[in-house]
Amino acid sequence: MSSQRARRLGSHHWYWVAAIPATFLLWVATLAWLALAATWEAFAFDANAVRLSLIALGVPFVFLTAYFPLAVYRDATYVNHTSGKWAPQPMRQALAAAVGPVVLIVLGFLVAAFDLPPTWPVVAGFGVTVPVAAYYLYRRREHVGVPDVPW
């Protein structure tokens, strides 16, 4: 693909990268709301408040953790071909992003082996991806900027 055509098409994979910190902030807000609601006597929640928040956000956490390396690789490849200001080395970025899925899988095996709560690997795998995504987005914005809104 020519770089002129690539510039016209743009890359929307950075949206998936940006979804990781946004989803994390949504989860923190959900936990804060559940903690506040647990203090009200009428809505007495037990210690399962964290598990309750992960029921709603667990599947998106797992999906974003698994898709993150591919999204970073595709966006870094796009930036590498079109920017001229920043060469993010797509394979290195994808390897840094792959730490989250590795943590998710390794802890998943440990949870299965030792009968631990299944929320641990989901939170740990996703938690590892948040700083990597934030750093990548910071560097991308610093050197390339934020693309225009597609609509």
What is the per-residue pLDDT across 70-99, written as a single tens digit (0 to 9) for each? 999 999 999 888 877 888 999 999 999 999
Q: How confident is the model at residue 119 (pLDDT cuts 50, 70, 90)?
A: confident
Query: Does 136 reside within a domain?
Result: yes
Q: How far apart are CA 148 and CA 151, in angstroms?
A: 9
Provide the domain count of the chain. 1
Range of the domain at 99: 12-143
As a whole number of angstroms, the distance between CA 138 and CA 20 comes to: 13
The pTM of the whole model exceeds 0.85: no
Residue 7 covered by a domain: no
Task: Tell me the range of 31-35, 107-111, 114-118 where mean pLDDT is highest.
Answer: 107-111
Q: Examine residue 150 and state whether it is found in any structural domain, yes or no.
A: no
Ranges of beta strands (E only) in the chain are none
